[in-house]
């Protein structure tokens, strides 16, 4: 693709937030392959550590993005009961890249910027919304971005997505 430059994923996220007039704090750091590594880089900064899961139904006809507290484990049967998703499972890496332009380990709400078909359903665990700020990788694992929880919801709305709030049990 001659003449076309590929934008730094974190810069794409920052520009989208700036355009939406959403305040954020970004911390650039070394590569974080695990949440433990990422947590080490952002120690002491206020904001709940999130886990964003890319899920699909058994037939791969629907895709879901679920944001929850990183310390929580997902009960797939409960997710199925709450959403009506048929036999949900983790989305395959190829589908993740096709739908959100992301690699495993850097999935975040900001992947919606790359969802050209606008066909990913968005869910938040109710418990995480009581937190003042959330942290995510901004589509790259060499930065962590902190955004007020209300602004994360506004970001999703600004992109034209609806979202649902689920009460996931511990």
Contact call for residues 115 and 141 (beta carbons, < 8 A): no
27 strand-pairing partners: 144
Question: Quick one: pLDDT at residue 34?
Answer: 76
Question: Quick one: pLDDT at residue 16?
Answer: 97
Q: Does some domain include residue 74?
A: yes
Question: Quick one: pLDDT at residue 167?
Answer: 95
| Overall number of domains in the chain | 1
**Which structural domain range is residue 99 located in?**
23-166
Question: Quick one: pLDDT at residue 1?
Answer: 41
Q: Does some domain include residue 6?
A: no
Question: Quick one: pLDDT at residue 3?
Answer: 45
Contact call for residues 66 and 121 (beta carbons, < 8 A): no
Q: Does some domain include residue 97?
A: yes
19 strand-pairing partners: none
In terms of phi and psi (left: phi > 0; alpha: psi -120 to 50; beta: otherwise), the region of 130 is: alpha
Q: Of 99, 119, 113, 154, whose CA–CA distance to 7 is shortest?
A: 113
Q: Does some domain include residue 67?
A: yes
Question: Quick one: pLDDT at residue 146?
Answer: 96
Q: Does some domain include residue 15?
A: no
From first to last of its 170 residues, the chain has per-residue pLDDT tens of 444 455 688 899 999 999 999 999 999 998 887 777 888 888 889 989 999 999 999 999 999 999 999 889 999 999 999 999 999 999 999 999 999 999 888 999 999 999 999 999 999 999 999 999 999 999 998 999 999 999 999 999 999 999 999 999 87
Measured CA to CA, the distance from residue 114 to residue 129 in angstroms comes to 24
Listing DSSP states for 102-151 in one string gives: --TT---GGGGGG-TT--EEEEEEGGGGGSSEEEE--SSTTEEEEEEHHH
Where are the extended beta strands (E) located within 36-127?
A: 48-56, 63-69, 89-90, 120-125
Q: What single-letter DSSP state applies at residue 61?
A: S
Q: Does some domain include residue 162?
A: yes
Assign residue 60 the CATH number of its domain.
3.90.960.10
The pair of structure tokens assigned to 8 is: 């730094």
Return the residue matching tokens 């332009």.
Answer: 101
- Indicate if the alpha-carbon torsion angle 13, 129, 51, 69 is positive or negative: positive
Cα-based distances in Å from 52 to 1, 4, 19, 167: 31, 30, 23, 16
Q: Does some domain include residue 72?
A: yes
Largest CA distance in the chain: 50
């Amino acid at each position: 693709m001659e003449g076309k430059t590929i934008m730094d994923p974190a810069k794409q996220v920052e520009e989208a937030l700036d355009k939406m007039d959403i305040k954020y704090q970004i911390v650039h750091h070394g590569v974080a392959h695990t949440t433990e590594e990422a947590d080490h880089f952002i120690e002491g900064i206020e904001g709940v550590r999130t886990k964003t899961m890319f899920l699909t139904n058994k037939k791969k006809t629907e895709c879901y993005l679920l944001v929850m507290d990183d310390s929580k484990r997902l009960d797939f049967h409960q997710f199925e009961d709450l959403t009506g998703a048929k036999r949900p499972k983790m989305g395959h890496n190829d589908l993740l890249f096709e739908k959100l332009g992301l690699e495993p380990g850097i999935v975040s709400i900001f992947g919606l910027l790359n969802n050209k078909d606008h066909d990913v359903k968005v869910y938040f665990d109710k418990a995480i919304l009581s937190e003042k700020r959330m942290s995510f990788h901004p589509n790259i694992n060499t930065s962590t971005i902190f955004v007020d929880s209300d602004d994360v919801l506004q970001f999703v709305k600004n992109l034209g997505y609806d979202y649902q709030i689920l009460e996931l049990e511990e």
